[in-house]
Amino acid sequence: MSAALPAVAVSSGYGRGIACQLTAVFLFAIMGVLVKGLGDAYPTSQIIFFRSLPALLPLLMYLPNQGGWRALITKRPDLQFLRAGLGIVSMFTGFYALAHMDFASYVTISFSAPLFGTLLAIPFLGEKVGIRRLSAVLVGFSGVLLAAAPDGSGISLYALMALGAALAYGTIMVVMRKLGSVDRSAATVFYFTLAGVIAGGVLMPFEWVMPSAVDFALLVGVGLIGGVAQIFMTEAFRQAPTAVIAPFDYTAMVWAVTLGYLVFGSVPSLQVVGGASIICCAGLFILYRETKLGLKKPKLKRSSL
């Protein structure tokens, strides 16, 4: 898209925000590779537990920059509960699907979350979505269908689960538009992460698989990397406007293709690449229109991972 996003002045001060976003996207990609690699040997509940518990450490270390323990005070516990519940659903379905899918295909389908968010904002926020944004959503979903059935044999159960995870996260985006105006981002990330510890911890004892020393380190790494990535992403949106930062989220596709090939030896099909391109273009156009119309975007992305 050649047109510059309106009402956003290009500033050298935004460089730090862009750098934080690029770092966050890379770290989330590394975390995704670890989740996929561990998914064949360990139950999803165990991976979610380790994704959540170690992530509390970098988050608690980051609290002083957010105002200390007072940053965890919430004015809307009902919305925090809803956001955390949706995040758990997104993690369970997403992690399970990722363990059984091509990495690039999963990342491509996950890009459909903003498309769901745009549609869900109509009934839940009373937002008016014009014909141009609706058309972009439909075009974007055509890319999702292309990526979800790359071999022409139909959409698999795992692709449907990945789509379900994206739907849950699209709903989170709608919740965040309300929650982001009353609570600090640190509170939202903390309660979601705590919910992951509880949900994973309740189910894990029934499915526990004793990890080797190496796998234990990798499981802990999933949580630490995810927690640090979330901090970088939070900082990115503190340093620069959404319209500047959000487009760099699509660099995840570069890492998905690169890491998918280097780690798993997989090469995405032309259909997946084509689908990703369509979704990215549709998402950028929606962002362009929402920025032009002055709509607010949620400041937390990928926190469901």
Q: What is the rounded distance in angstroms from the CA atom of residue 122 to the CA atom of residue 60?
A: 36
Give the per-residue pLDDT at 235. 85
Residue 240 lies in a domain: yes
Give the per-residue pLDDT at 109. 94
The residue segments making up the domain with residue 121 are 14-292
In total, how many domains does the chain have?
1
Residue 286 lies in a domain: yes
Give the per-residue pLDDT at 13. 60
Give the per-residue pLDDT at 10. 47
Give the per-residue pLDDT at 31. 97
Residue 3 lies in a domain: no
Residue 278 lies in a domain: yes
Sign of torsion over alpha carbons 95, 101, 102, 108: negative
Torsion of CA 32, 87, 280, 107, to 10 degrees: 20
- Express each pLDDT in 35-52 by its tens digit: 999 999 999 999 999 999
Give the per-residue pLDDT at 153. 66
Q: How many other β-carbons are positioned within 10 Å of the β-carbon of residue 64?
A: 10
Taking 70 as the pLDDT cut, the residues of the chain under it are 1-13, 150-153, 294-305
- Per DSSP, 37 falls in state H
Give the per-residue pLDDT at 295. 60
Give the per-residue pLDDT at 245. 83
Torsion of CA 57, 62, 67, 72, to 10 degrees: -40
Residue 46 lies in a domain: yes
Q: What is the rounded distance in angstroms from the CA atom of residue 230 to the CA atom of residue 303?
A: 6
Residue 110 three-state SS: helix
Q: CA distances (Å), 120 to each of 79, 96, 105, 172, 270, in order?
A: 16, 25, 24, 10, 30
Give the per-residue pLDDT at 135. 93
Residue 137 lies in a domain: yes
Residue 183 lies in a domain: yes
φ, ψ of residue 264 in degrees (nearest 5): -110, -5
